[in-house]
Structure 1
Amino acid sequence: MDSDRSGPWSGSSKVPVDISFRTLPFEVSLPVRADAVRNRAKVLEAAARLFAERGVEHVTMDDVAAAAGVGKGTLYRHFGDKSGLATALLDQREAELQKGILGGSAPLGPGVGPDDRLVAFTTAYLEFLRDSLDIVLLSQTSTVGARFRPGAHAFWRRHCAYLLELCRAPEPDIAADVLLAALSAEQVQHWLVDRGLPFDQLAEALARVARSLATR
């Protein structure tokens, strides 16, 4: 089997996967005015910076509007409320990671062995969590089982299982679940915040775990 093909699109997939995110910027949509696109980009950039600096709960919509240099009416019209804004930011980051997996540079994208791609995914997803931890934690713990419902989770799971299948790892579907459980926002927060593990140390440890799962 060609290791350059990305798992979720593989014809060998055993389980149908809904890979649609809550919203994806590359889905078919009506044309958007250039100024609206610019305003959206400014708002998301400002929100990302403020969320990282203060935490989601300590940032108001007024704060974001002021930092982005847009009117509050524009902000509410595009995103509704802070929850909608956080969701849009998360969607953007998930979509960027998905694009990297499907057609980006190796080792995250095609072009290297499946074990190296699995390690690259683990590191890239951990970096995604580091930059979006408050938002992902909120989305994954809002209700029981929330982590498993988004199409994004189904995509990550199928990608990992596919790479593990190529490695001929035992029980690739279960192994994918094990890896993603270790990469849940709640678990990562426990390691980084509660236990105070340095990010680089955690990234190296999880990379070793991912490689061990890929080994027969």
Structure 2
Amino acid sequence: MIGQPPPERADAARNRQKIIEVASRMIAEHGADQLSLDEVAKEAGVGVGTVYRRFGDRAGLVWALIDEREHRFQQAFLSGPPPIGPGAPPAERIRAFLSAVVDRVMDQEDLFLLVELGSPKARFGGPYKVHHTHLAGLLAQARPGADARFLADALLASVNAYLIRYQRDERGMSVEAIKSALDDLALSVTGGPPTSRRRG
């Protein structure tokens, strides 16, 4: 699981919560793309250095904002009921997981768009690393001998926030159509016939 910080001093915990609350309010009022760490620090009444030390960069602050929902998502695929959780065949779990990632991105789309603008370390660390490890493990079971780590990267590249937004806004695809096409992709990777779900 991600997002398990070491114990904090009471004042540090208060500052962290204040920064998160201010950032959440600023995003609600002005949109995620306008989020500035300098402005967050000013509104929160803390030094800019405090924000950078605690969160590293804007992507780090964004991950803190999505952390709670990410925890729930991870619990679902690590220990929840099948098919996303243990108990279903690996290929079925892969399909359920990728569909759930689409919902996860849509739930906080603006924040995921911001994260994807960050450095590779920020973008491919944190939750991505957990998602990749989980997916690669399932792929190793479903496709013994294949390069599971590469396949996990390739599948996760299909569920990035910018691509999903482009597919919806420019190609006119519904979320259901995106999931259906992604299901076909997962089936082609794990070995199975294409789904017959309607696209549109």
Q: Does the TM-score normalized on the shorter chain lie above 0.5?
A: yes
Residue pair 2:76, 2:84 contacting (<8 A) in 1 also:
yes
Q: 1:59 to 1:204 in 2, by over 3 A?
A: same
How many Å apart are 1:114 and its aligned residue? Answer: 0.7
How many Å apart are 1:206 and its aligned residue? Answer: 0.9
Q: Which runs of 5+ in 2 are unaligned?
A: 193-200
Query: How far apart, CA to CA, are the structure 2 residues paired with 1:165 and 1:138?
Result: 31
Query: How far apart, CA to CA, are the structure 2 residues paired with 1:148 and 1:56?
Result: 16
Partner of 1:187: 163
Q: 1:128 to 1:197 in 2, by over 3 A?
A: same
Matches within 5 A, 1:42-191: 43=21, 47=24, 51=27, 55-57=31-33, 83=58, 85-143=61-119, 145-146=120-121, 149-168=124-143, 171=146, 172-191=148-167
Identity in percent: 27
How many Å apart are 1:28 and its aligned residue? Answer: 5.3
Query: How far apart, CA to CA, are the structure 2 residues paired with 1:32 and 1:114?
Result: 44
Query: How far apart, CA to CA, are the structure 1 residues paired with 2:45 and 2:29?
Result: 24
Partner of 1:197: 173
How many Å apart are 1:32 and its aligned residue? Answer: 7.0
Q: One-letter code of the match for 1:120?
A: A
Partner SS for 1:202:
helix
Higher RCO structure (Cα 8 Å, ≥6 apart): 1
Query: How far apart, CA to CA, are the structure 2 residues paired with 1:190 and 1:54?
Result: 22
Query: How far apart, CA to CA, are the structure 1 residues paired with 2:153 and 2:132?
Result: 7
Q: 1:55 to 1:210 in 2, by over 3 A?
A: farther
Query: How far apart, CA to CA, are the structure 1 residues paired with 2:90 and 2:63?
Result: 31
Q: Which runs of 5+ in 1 are unaligned?
A: 1-19, 65-70
Q: 1:147 to 1:166 in 2, by over 3 A?
A: same
Residue pair 1:169, 1:215 contacting (<8 A) in 2 also:
no
Residue pair 1:141, 1:147 contacting (<8 A) in 2 also:
no
Partner SS for 1:158:
helix
Q: One-letter code of the match for 2:7?
A: S
Residue pair 2:62, 2:115 contacting (<8 A) in 1 also:
no
Count of residues in Structure 1 that have an aligned counterpart in Structure 2:
184
Query: How far apart, CA to CA, are the structure 2 residues paired with 1:109 and 1:210?
Result: 17
Q: 1:214 to 1:134 in 2, by over 3 A?
A: same
Q: 1:194 to 1:52 in 2, by over 3 A?
A: farther
Residue pair 1:122, 1:206 contacting (<8 A) in 2 also:
yes
How many Å apart are 1:168 and its aligned residue? Answer: 2.4
Partner of 2:198: none
Q: 1:54 to 1:160 in 2, by over 3 A?
A: same
Root-mean-square deviation over aligned CA pairs: 4.0
